[in-house]
């Protein structure tokens, strides 16, 4: 009796795992179909253009592997939005420091 219960449980577990894997594959295939993607976009847009929608579009670009140029651009944009990479700006003129604003207002030239 115990063997039958264990055997049945093992069989059901395999079926559940197999069904999950099949569902995952089918969902992945559906998410590449233009009509499905269009409907997803319609649902997002129904709320109007907002941060959440734009963030989701950016996430879609980053996680896709079809167009690496778009992916790289999306990653750069993400890094800019999150201030992960800071650009350094040279504030010299001809290797000479730019006079501070107070000196310019007073008309003083420090050359």
User: What stretch of H or E contains 27?
Assistant: helix 2-30
What are the pLDDT digits (tens) for 24-45? 888 888 888 999 888 888 887 7
Please give the pLDDT value at position 73: 92
* pTM of the shown model: 0.38
In order of 20, 84, 91, the CA distances from 9 in angstroms are: 16, 49, 71
Distances (CA, A) of 73 to 6, 7, 76, 81, 104: 53, 52, 5, 12, 40
Q: What is the number of residues in the chain?
A: 111
Q: How far apart are CA 19 and CA 89, in angstroms?
A: 56
């Amino acid at each position: 009796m115990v063997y039958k219960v264990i055997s049945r449980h093992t069989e059901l577990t395999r079926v559940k795992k197999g069904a999950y894997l099949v569902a995952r594959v089918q969902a992945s295939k559906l998410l590449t179909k233009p009509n499905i993607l269009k409907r997803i976009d319609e649902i997002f847009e129904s709320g109007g253009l907002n941060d959440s929608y734009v963030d989701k579009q950016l996430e879609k670009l980053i996680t896709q592997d079809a167009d690496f140029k778009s992916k790289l651009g999306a990653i750069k944009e993400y890094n800019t939005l999150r201030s992960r990479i800071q650009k350094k700006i040279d504030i010299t003129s001809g290797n000479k420091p730019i006079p501070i604003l107070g000196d310019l207002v007073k008309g003083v030239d420090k050359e």
